[in-house]
Chain A
Amino acid sequence: MEVAAPEPARGGGNPLKNMFRMRETGLIAIIVLLFAVMSFASPYFLTWVNMRAMAMAFAVEGVVVVGMTILLISGGIDLSVGSVTALAMVIAGWLFLQGVDPWVASGISIASCTAIGAFMGFFVTRIGLHHFIVSLAVMVIARGICLLATGGRPLGLYTLPPEFKFIGQGSIGPLPLVIIIFLVVVLAFDFMLRRTTMFRKVFYTGSNEKAAAYSGIKTKKVIFLTTTLCSALCGFAGIIYMARFGSAQPTFGIGMELNVIAAAVIGGASLSGGSGTIFGAILGTILLSVVSSSLALLDVSVYWQDIIRGSILLSAVSIDHYLHKIRA
């Protein structure tokens, strides 16, 4: 044997590649930088009240980001998250107004959202339609149900018992319960995604569905379950929102899907599946949220915020694409 197989490529060649290899590091650096700049630009920024408000703003959405990230890793996508979150509120709120116990109403509502996820999963895995199309249809249908059931007006739930409202409005010590729930969900799913066999199969499936099938993995079942899980988490988020607002808002979460997908993708999830982390996705959520809040504090027009958010997404995806190319 004269010519040995070439040594595999190691890290080290391209410094840019190495710097971005740890995407989380990059995101943390950007967030810290933003904090530093903002604390000079606005004296109000680095106050407890503002920090708390920002955290409250992204915490519930963060729960949806978790579901979306897992779904993206499995190779799917869900455009219906905003509508389904609103539908969760509307179902629970409507049942409550019919005299159902709010806890029971919430349980039914989350179960319904889970069923919606299973419904989409069925169309994707059994009928063979694309996630994009199925969830687009469900996005419109769910919104339609919300508007139909409420006549387009928010349901005021003034009589919600205080112990229920506590989920969305209460605090344990200095920490709002919403943030504690968020942390628990994030930590639990982050751990499971990294370390359990169940979620490892999600990575195998998203990375190469055929290779996963050739490894004995029931890929359709995996995709069905990630689709269902995402909707179930939307249901859960919807209930928290309802407890926080004390009302059910049929128009809530319009455009949420874009924010959620953007956060996951900025955090390293790939639309072609197989990669992504919860930690990264949450950093993506925090980044977008800090940017929004900063722009608001700086009195920048809301319309600018969308433009900037879109630009951040485009840059993140471009960098991702470039890195994939030089790695290949």
Chain B
Amino acid sequence: MTDDVILKISHVSKSFGAVQALNGVDFELRKGEIHALAGENGAGKSTLMNIIDGILQPDSGEILLDGQVVRISSPAEAQKLGIGFVHQEISLCPDVSVAENIFMAATNVSRAFLTDYQALQRDAGVILSQLADIDPSWPVRELSISNQQLVEIAKALTLDCRVLILDEPTAALTEKEAQVLFQIMRRLADRGISIIYISHRMAEIFDNCDRVSVFRDGRYIVTHKVRDIQPGTIVNAMVGRMIDNLYPAKMTAAQTSDEIILKVSNLSEAVRFNGISFELKKGEILGFAGLIGSGRSEIVKGICQLEGTVTGDTWLNGQKLALKHYSDSIAAGMVYLSEDRKGDGVFLDMSISANVSALKLGQVSGPLGIINTDKEDGQAEKLGHMLNLKHGQLSDPVSSLSGGNQQKVAIAKMLSVDPKLIFLDEPTRGVDIGAKSEIHRILRDLARSGVGIIVISSELPELIGVCDRVLVVREGSISGEVAGDAMTEENIMHLASVLETQKKTA
């Protein structure tokens, strides 16, 4: 690592409607360093990276590459400037071969009229062989999620990039694969490539990065050399206050109950999961952890008949369930909050009131099925007030709200049916910190009032902070359970990935 600055961000701001995603942000990347970005969801990291990659344009501020002001108008432009971005979501063409996926980006910046496929295939093979044992001629569809992630990285590497952005690349990787990736990152850095590394895992930042910059609520907070500080320093900078009071108090021993809200026995689905059994007790918040693609969402969707053909038995409050369709699940009082809020959680262009009432229109309508708009508004008003929803008119479309408030609308929709049990899939993804801790408090209040709460989250600190007990899912089955002091990121990660390492060494 040298002190030469390769990329400098100066006073960059960006807003989406009324939401200020970035507010006069500064950032400096040196040649050959691995620079971690830390910050809660919604802190502005992704927006900043999208600006560097040309996906978004800043409202104001400058980007300097090698001391020259540059305007990055598109990802193609960014590639030409030597900036590679490996997104968290995999964006490969599934039906096309690994090699061709890697070419796709390379041919895009090539100025030559004809493409030398043989040379590219060779290059792709060389780069892939450093990363993993992947056959370049395989269609991407055939690869595991972790190998697809590695192909994404290989794709960026073929471009001769000087700046490589990795957005949570280890989210879908096993421990072992992650270690390989870190070695590769270090080799690249030694070759003079600068890496921006986004991760929520403190251990990864401290073991593998040179410097770390913290963002919070769209603002740049501080940059430290990793060796000069402790993880607590970063966490406090991320949160802006002491971590202790971020999460609500947990269930006390006195509140424990033997009453079982949900009992699941030997639940299986054709391909997605197998032999799932667990119980949820009254008053507790149960967490589901697991890597992306492990089947944790599929299990809860299976329980409430949203997806898949499921076998096995489920009891809700002692009643055996025979659900045929998700609407039966709603009628039984079991609802699912989707992880993809904009994709399938809310109706963005419909009013707040209409969103809140969507699960059970019968509640706000008369005997002829005529909707009583006063009743409908009243319901939205009441639940909105309870959730501290910040909104204009109830007739405004949900798209006019901030991410956190949109999520509160989605939660209000769940609560409108007086549920007995709520599955929340990534309940605070893309939500600002204020709303996030409010949502956590709401979950705790609901659990205390006797509503069953099951939370799925990729953010381990969230699971550990919010849940009384966490089940870990790995490749479609429950690989373990942690509770109390045993709920640590290390233990959960171990359970989420250890079996595969064993299998490989065996």
Map CB proximity to A onto B408-449 as digits: 1 under 8 Å, 0 otherwise.
000001000000000000000000111101000000000000
Say whether A4 faces chain B, with CB atoms less than 8 Å apart: yes
> 12 interchain pairs (CB within 8 A)?
A4-B434, A6-B19, A7-B392, A11-B396, A196-B371, A197-B371, A200-B361, A207-B350, A210-B344, A214-B306, A217-B327, A328-B399
CB distance from A179 to the nearest CB of B (A): 26
In the complex, the answer to whether A216 meets B370 with C-beta atoms within 8 Å is no
Residues on B with C-beta less than 8 A from A274 are: 347, 349-350
Q: Do residues B347 and A8 form an inter-chain contact, with CB atoms below 8 A?
A: no
Partner of B347, one of A2, A5, A197, A207: A207
Q: Report, nearest first, the 3 A-B pairs whose CB atoms are least far apart.
A: A216-B327, A210-B344, A197-B361
Check: B405 CB closer than 8 A to any chain A CB: yes
Decide yes or no whether A305 CB sits under 8 A from chain B. Answer: no
Task: Name the CB-closest residue of B to A274.
Answer: B349
Bound-state Cα–Cα, A44 to B343, Å: 54
Q: Which residues of A contact B401 (CB under 8 A)?
A: 8
In the complex, are the beta carbons of A214 and B338 less than 8 A apart?
yes
Q: Is the CB of A1 closer than 8 A to any CB of chain B?
A: yes
A211 and B371 contact, CB distance less than 8 A: no
Cα(A204)–Cα(B329), bound, Å: 19
Q: Is the interface of A mostly helix, strand, loop or mixed?
A: loop
The answer to whether A216 and B325 touch (CB under 8 A), given A203-B350, A204-B358, is yes
Chain B: number of interface residues, binned into ranges: 35 or more
Q: Which residues of A contact B199 (CB under 8 A)?
A: none
B292-351 with Cβ < 8 A to chain A = 306, 325-327, 329-330, 336, 338, 343-350
CA distance A174 to B348 in the complex (A): 46
Residue B400 is within 8 A (CB to CB) of chain A in the complex: yes
A-B contact sample (15 more), CB < 8 A, given A3-B434, A5-B435, A203-B347:
A3-B218, A5-B432, A7-B18, A7-B392, A8-B391, A8-B402, A10-B393, A195-B371, A197-B370, A204-B347, A211-B358, A213-B306, A215-B358, A217-B327, A218-B325
Residue numbers of A with Cβ under 8 A of B are: 1-11, 195-198, 200-201, 203-204, 207-208, 210-218, 274-275, 327-328
Given contacts A10-B396, A197-B361, A274-B347, contact A216 B402 (CB under 8 A): no
Q: CA separation between A92 and B81, bound complex, in Å? A: 70
Contacts of B373 in A (CB 8 A): 195
Closest to A2 in B: B240
CB closest chain-A residue, reference B404: A5
Would A9 and B347 count as touching, CB distance under 8 A? no
Residues in B lying within 8 Å of A, measured CB to CB: 17-20, 216-219, 240, 306, 325-327, 329-330, 336, 338, 343-350, 354, 358-359, 361-362, 365, 368-371, 373, 390-393, 396-397, 399-402, 404-405, 413, 432-435, 437
Partner of A1, one of B17, B18, B358, B433: B433
Out of B20, B345, B393, which one reaches A214, CB within 8 Å? Answer: B345
Question: What's the Cα separation between A208 and B354 when bound, in Å?
Answer: 13
User: Which A residue sits closest to B390, measured CB to CB?
Assistant: A5
Contact B217 A3 (CB under 8 A): yes
Do B350 and A204 have beta carbons less than 8 Å apart? yes
Asked if B362 contacts A197 (CB within 8 A), the reply is yes
**CB-CB nearest in chain A for B329:** A216
Instruction: Looking at the assembled complex, report how far the CB atom of A270 sits from the nearest CB atom of chain B, in whole angstroms.
Output: 9
B415 smallest CB distance to A (angstroms): 13
A196, B434: Cβ atoms under 8 Å?
no
**Shortest beta-carbon distance from A82 to chain B in Å:** 30
CB-defined contacts of A196 to chain B, threshold 8 Å: 365, 368-371
B344 touches A213 (CB 8 A): yes
B354 contacts across to A, CB distance below 8 A:
200, 203-204
In the bound complex, residues from chain B placing their C-beta under 8 Å from that of A7 are 18, 390, 392
CB atoms of B371 and A214 under 8 A apart: no
Q: Which residue of A lies closest to B410 (CB)?
A: A211
User: In the complex, which of the residues A5, A203, A274, A275 has the most CB atoms of chain B within 10 Å of its own CB atom?
Assistant: A5
CB of A1 within 8 A of CB of B348, answer: no
Please state if B370 and A9 are interface contacts (CB–CB under 8 Å): no
Q: Which residues of A contact B361 (CB under 8 A)?
A: 197, 200-201
Chain B residues positioned under 8 Å from A8 (CB to CB): 18, 390-392, 396, 400-402, 405
Task: Verify A5–B329 contact, CB threshold 8 A.
Answer: no
Interface pair A200/B371, CB less than 8 Å apart = yes
Q: Which of A1, A211, A328 has the most CB of B within 10 A?
A: A211
Most buried by B among A196, A200, A216, A217: A216
Min C-beta distance of A225 to chain B, whole Å: 14
Closest Cβ of chain A to B423, distance in Å, is 11
